[in-house]
Amino acid sequence: NRAAPVDENENKTVKPPCKLEHHLSAEIERVVTEQVQYARMGIGKDSWQLFSEEGEMKMYRREEEVNGLVIDPLKACHYVKGFSAHEMCYYFFQPEYRYEWEITLDTNGMTVIEKLSEDTLIFHQMHKRMWPAAQRDAVFWSHMREVPLDKSDDKNVLNCWVVVNNSTDIDSLPANGNGKVVRIYMTVCLMCQTVVLDPKKDKSQLTRADIACKITYCSVVNPGGWAPSAALRMIYKREYPRFLRKFTAYVTSKTKGKSIMF
Ligand code: H13
């Protein structure tokens, strides 16, 4: 008897369809894996300090400084009924909606510098000046994907999506190029889980009344140049709750009456 024909792809770890690689692929894999792990840990037993609470929205920080510069890590948790994890991530990732919700952007402040793939973009953003800090700009890659469910997820979680934004350098836009605008460095992870409220229903029967989105938003900002610690903490305390409150209200209004994008 002759042996069955050998499938030469059989034992390869990456199964088709394979994603096209680009110069940031390896970094993105590493940062996304790390950020998802970190978001999944939740508030845990670490010493997070609750600094803002509005209904289901809770924001925590850890006060940290490096050479007198505030770099407080932030973790925010929220829970909103009526839209999916994919929808929340979609509106956060897609540039065409950015001006409709991002209130820290300067007029015409957002540029897509490069599209590396359908799920990965490089942005330049010019942010509004916030007194007493100098104006800030940022260059970052932004990547969106669905994340496989994990043993630690609740059994009513249907799926999980993430967007990670991470500062990067590009030659054509050097940091602090004009001496006035300071380059800010940020790592942001928006992880969302679709929660099914009625476990008896089949996925195809679910309406917006049957789903909720469990949101974890983590961020670490290095302000890039000196700014008074108390002023920066005041800005964060005001701007993060404003962002998450406004953005979730935006996703609610954008998705109302539309079929659910799972
Ligand atoms: O995450 C938010 N916005 C993203 C889409 O615009 C961009 C953000 C990012 C910016 C820069 C580098 C990497 C990622 O993810 C919402 C951000 C809310 C921020 C509130 C506080 C920031 C205040 C900064 C002021 C410094 C003086």
What per-residue confidence (pLDDT) applies to 89? Answer: 99
The best mutation among 137, 164, 221 to test binding of ligand 1, ranked by most ligand atoms within 8 Å of the C-beta, falls on 221
Instruction: Report the distance separating Cα 227 and Cα 134, nearest Å.
Output: 8
- Residue of minimum CA distance from atom 13 in ligand 1: 186
DSSP state letter for 215: E
Instruction: Report the distance separating Cα 44 and Cα 153, nearest Å.
Output: 14
What per-residue confidence (pLDDT) applies to 109? Answer: 96
Could you tell me whether strands 136-147 and 120-127 are parallel, antiparallel, or unpaired per DSSP bridges? antiparallel
The answer to whether residues 128 and 102 touch, using CB atoms and an 8 Å cutoff, is no
Q: Is 235 in the pocket of ligand 1 (CB under 6 A)?
A: yes
Instruction: Report the distance separating Cα 122 and Cα 106, nearest Å.
Output: 18
What per-residue confidence (pLDDT) applies to 67? Answer: 87
Q: Is 91 in the pocket of ligand 1 (CB under 6 A)?
A: no
Q: Which of 103, 54, 94 is nearest to 76 (CA)?
A: 54
Q: Is 167 in the pocket of ligand 1 (CB under 6 A)?
A: yes
Q: Is 60 in the pocket of ligand 1 (CB under 6 A)?
A: no
CA angle 186-217-117, nearest 5°? 65
pLDDT < 70 positions in the chain: 1-20
Q: Is 74 in the pocket of ligand 1 (CB under 6 A)?
A: no
The best mutation among 91, 112, 125 to test binding of ligand 1, ranked by most ligand atoms within 8 Å of the C-beta, falls on 125
The best mutation among 219, 234, 250 to test binding of ligand 1, ranked by most ligand atoms within 8 Å of the C-beta, falls on 219
Instruction: Report the distance separating Cα 8 and Cα 23, nearest Å.
Output: 27
What per-residue confidence (pLDDT) applies to 68? Answer: 87
Q: Is 135 in the pocket of ligand 1 (CB under 6 A)?
A: no
pTM of the model: 0.92
Rounded distance from Cα 202 to ligand 1 centre (Å)? 38
Q: What is the pLDDT of residues 56-101, one digit of tens each?
A: 999 999 999 988 899 999 999 999 999 999 999 999 999 999 999 9
Instruction: Report the distance separating Cα 54 and Cα 70, nearest Å.
Output: 24
